[in-house]
A and B are shown apart, each in its own frame.
Chain A
Amino acid sequence: MEKISQWVAKYAWPILIVAFIITVILGYQLTQVRFEDDVTEYLPEDDPEVSFFNSLEDEFTSFQGKSLLVALDFDNLFTPENLKTLQQIVEELEKISSVKSISALTNMPKIETTQYGIEVKEVVEVLPETQAEADNLRKDLEEDELVWGKMVTPDGRGTIIAISLYDTADEFAVADEVKKAVAPFENRAKVTYFGLPIIMEQMSGDAQRTLNVLAPISGLILLAILFWGFRTVQGVVLPVFMALLASLWSLGVATLAEGSLTIVSATIPVILLALITAYGIHFVNRYYEERLKVGEKQATRITFKEMLIPIAMSAFTTMGGFISLFLADIKPITEFGLYSTLGILFGLILATFVLAAFFTIFIPRKVPVNFDHSQNNREKDGISRLLLLTGRGITHHKNFIIGILVVAFLILTIGIPQIQVETTVEAQMGEDHPLTQLLNYFQDRFGGTDYNYLYLETEKVKHPFVLREMVRICRFAEENQLFAFSDPSSIATFIMDLNQAMDGWRAIPDSEDKIHNLWFFAEGNQFIEGKINPEETAALVEFRSKETTSQQLSREIKTLETFLAERPKRIKSVSINTPGAVDHLVQTILADLKLFGLEINPQSQEKAEEIILSHIQASNEEFMPFNQEFAQAVSEDALLEIEDLGLDPNQVTDALMKYFTSPEEELMAILAESLDITEDDAFYLADILTFSMERVAQNNKIQSLKAEIEQLVGQSLSSKDYDFIFYQILDQYVFVPDEEGEISLFYRVTGTPVITNYINDQLFNQQVESMVLAFIIVFGLLLLQLRSLRKAMVAIVPVLATVYTSFGLMGLLKIPLNTATLMVASIAIGVSIDYTIHFTSRWYREIQNQSPDPLRITMVSTGRGIVLNSLAVAGGIYVLTLSSIKMISMFGLLIATVLLASVLYALLLLPLLLHVSEYTRKNNNSSKKGV
Chain B
Amino acid sequence: MKKTLSLVFLVGTLILGISFSVWALTADEILDEVEARTSEFETQRAKAKMILVDANGKTEERETIMYTKDEGDDVLSLIVRFLSPAEVKNVTLLSLEDGDKIYLYMPAFRKVRRIAGSERNENFMGTDFTYDDLGGSYSREDYQSTLIDETDEIYLLELIPRKEDSNYSKLIMEVDKEKFYFRKIEFYDLEGNLWKVIEIPQIKEEEDGSITIMKMEMTDLKEEHQTIIEMEEIEKNVDLPDNFFSLRTIQRPEL
Contact = CB atoms under 8 A, between A and B. Distances in A.
A578 B123 CA distance: 44
A143 interface: no
B108 A640 contact: no
A120 B189 contact: no
A644 interface: yes
A553 B111 CA distance: 46
Contact of A644 (B87, B88, B111, B247): B247
Nearest to B96: A644
B113 A520 contact: no
B115 interface: yes
A122 interface: yes
B186 to A, nearest CB: 15
B110 interface: yes
A871 B69 CA distance: 93
Interface in A672-693: 684, 691
A180 interface: no
B113 A97 contact: no
Contacts of A119: 114-117
Given A117-B113, A521-B115, A524-B122, 9 more contacts: A114-B116, A118-B113, A120-B116, A122-B119, A511-B108, A524-B125, A524-B127, A640-B247, A644-B247
B123 A524 contact: yes
Interface in B107-165: 107-119, 122-127
The contact size tier of chain B is 35 or more
B114 A640 contact: yes
B223 to A, nearest CB: 8
Contact of A100 (B56, B110, B222): B222
B79 interface: no
B150 to A, nearest CB: 30
Interface string A520-549: 110110000100001000000000000000
Interface of A: 94-97, 100, 114, 116-122, 125, 166, 501-503, 511, 513-514, 516-521, 523-524, 529, 534, 640-641, 644-645, 684, 691
B87 A519 contact: yes
B109 A520 contact: no
Contact of B58 (A125, A502, A511, A534): A534
Nearest to B222: A166
| Interface SS majority for chain B | loop
B190 A95 contact: yes
Interface string B211-249: 000000000001000000000000000000000001110
Contacts of B247: 640-641, 644
A57 to B, nearest CB: 13
Contacts of A121: 116-117
B118 A116 contact: no
Nearest to A100: B222
A120 B113 contact: no
B183 to A, nearest CB: 26
A501 to B, nearest CB: 7
Contacts of A521: 115
26 contacts: A97-B189, A97-B193, A100-B222, A116-B114, A117-B104, A117-B114, A118-B116, A119-B117, A120-B115, A120-B117, A121-B117, A122-B117, A122-B119, A513-B87, A514-B108, A516-B88, A516-B108, A517-B106, A517-B108, A519-B87, A520-B106, A521-B115, A534-B54, A534-B58, A641-B247, A684-B248
Identify the 8 closest CB pairs spanning chains A and B, nearest first: A117-B113, A523-B126, A121-B117, A513-B108, A516-B87, A524-B126, A524-B123, A517-B106
Nearest to A520: B91
B191 interface: yes
Contacts of A640: 103, 112-114, 247
Contacts of B54: 534
Contacts of A100: 222
A117 B116 CA distance: 9
Contacts of B248: 641, 644-645, 684
User: Which of B106, B107, B110, B123 has the largest number of chain A CB atoms within 10 A?
Assistant: B106
B106 A97 contact: no
A116 B101 CA distance: 11
A524 B246 CA distance: 26
A96 B190 CA distance: 8
Contacts of A122: 117, 119
A644 B245 CA distance: 10
B133 to A, nearest CB: 13
A118 B117 CA distance: 10
B56 A534 contact: yes
Nearest to A687: B251
Contacts of B91: 517, 520
Contacts of A114: 114, 116
User: Which of A517, A518, A691 has the largest number of chain B CB atoms within 10 A?
Assistant: A517
Interface in B77-93: 87-88, 91
A521 B88 CA distance: 11
A529 B247 CA distance: 29
B127 A644 contact: no
Contacts of B124: 524
Contacts of A517: 88, 91, 106-109
Contacts of B189: 97
A516 B82 CA distance: 13
A518 B115 CA distance: 12
B122 to A, nearest CB: 7
A524 B125 CA distance: 6
A633 B56 CA distance: 49
A684 B243 CA distance: 14
Contacts of A514: 106, 108-109
A824 B248 CA distance: 78
A506 to B, nearest CB: 15
A502 B117 contact: no
A118 B107 contact: no
Nearest to A58: B56
A97 B112 contact: no
Contacts of A96: 191
Nearest to A691: B110
B107 A120 contact: no
Nearest to A121: B117
B127 to A, nearest CB: 7
A419 B91 CA distance: 62
Nearest to B60: A534
Contact of B191 (A95, A125, A519, A644): A95
A94 B122 CA distance: 14
Contacts of A116: 113-114
Given A94-B190, A95-B191, A121-B117, A523 B125 contact: yes
A119 B88 CA distance: 20
B113 A502 contact: yes
B126 A503 contact: no
Contacts of A518: 106
Contacts of A524: 122-127
Nearest to A499: B109
B33 to A, nearest CB: 34
Nearest to A640: B112
A269 B107 CA distance: 71
Nearest to A95: B190
Contacts of A166: 222
Contacts of B87: 513, 516, 519
A114 B114 CA distance: 9
Interface in B19-43: none
Contacts of A641: 112, 247-248
A431 B169 CA distance: 47
Given A94-B190, A122-B117, A641-B247, A117 B106 contact: no
A239 B210 CA distance: 91
B203 to A, nearest CB: 27
Contact of B104 (A97, A519, A520, A644): A520
Nearest to B189: A97
A117 B110 contact: no
A736 B118 CA distance: 40
A623 B248 CA distance: 28
Contacts of A117: 103-104, 112-115
